């Protein structure tokens, strides 16, 4: 029998980590660590950027968030279900969309003899704000 103690002993509660998780969950903007850090400092003034990075990594490891690489910039996403993104080349916004055709996995396997584990697609264009 798994007890509550057993579950929490694997990863102790951390006020800092919980604050960071709530910050990422509060936005659909796919924030950077710097953005999360600036928000975290409002409620935890002595928090360090290193602490934010460590906790974001830990939250990714536990499946509480995903890291999306936008070029060389890491962004964080609370939506851990499979999805794709639209990226505006004007303002840099990333928007969640569901475009994945499950047939793409079998097409790639047939055409390239490549077993697909995951598909992450980002389509780049211009959002409605800039048309």
Task: Pick the more confident residue, 23 or 117.
Answer: 23
Q: Check whether 6 has a pLDDT greater than 90.
A: no
Q: How many domains does the chain have?
A: 2
On whether both 57 and 91 belong to a single domain, the answer is no
> What average pLDDT score do residues 43-61 get?
96
> What average pLDDT score do residues 52-74 get?
94
On whether both 69 and 95 belong to a single domain, the answer is no
When pLDDT is cut at 50, 70 and 90, the band that residue 11 belongs to is low
The count of other CB atoms within 10 Å of the CB of residue 110 is 9
On whether both 16 and 43 belong to a single domain, the answer is yes
Q: CB of 130 within 8 A of CB of 88?
A: yes
Residues spanned by the domain of 32: 4-77
> What average pLDDT score do residues 29-37 get?
96
What separation in angstroms does the CA of 22 have from each of 16, 25, 69, 85? Answer: 10, 5, 21, 22
Please state, in angstroms and rounded to a whole number, the distance separating the CA atoms of residues 1 and 24.
33
On whether both 9 and 61 belong to a single domain, the answer is yes
On whether both 33 and 52 belong to a single domain, the answer is yes
When pLDDT is cut at 50, 70 and 90, the band that residue 12 belongs to is low
């Amino acid at each position: 029998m798994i007890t509550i103690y057993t579950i929490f002993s694997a990863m102790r509660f951390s006020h800092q980590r919980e604050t960071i998780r709530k910050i990422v969950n509060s936005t659909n903007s796919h924030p950077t660590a710097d953005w999360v850090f600036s928000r975290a400092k409002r409620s935890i003034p002595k928090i360090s950027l290193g602490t934010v990075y460590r906790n974001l990594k830990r939250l990714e490891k536990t499946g509480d968030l995903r890291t999306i690489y936008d070029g060389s910039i890491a962004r964080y996403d609370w939506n851990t279900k499979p999805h794709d993104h639209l990226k505006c080349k004007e303002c840099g916004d990333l928007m969640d969309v569901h475009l994945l055709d499950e047939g793409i996995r079998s097409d790639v396997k047939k055409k390239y003899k490549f077993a697909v584990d995951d598909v992450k697609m980002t389509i780049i264009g211009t959002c409605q704000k800039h048309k």
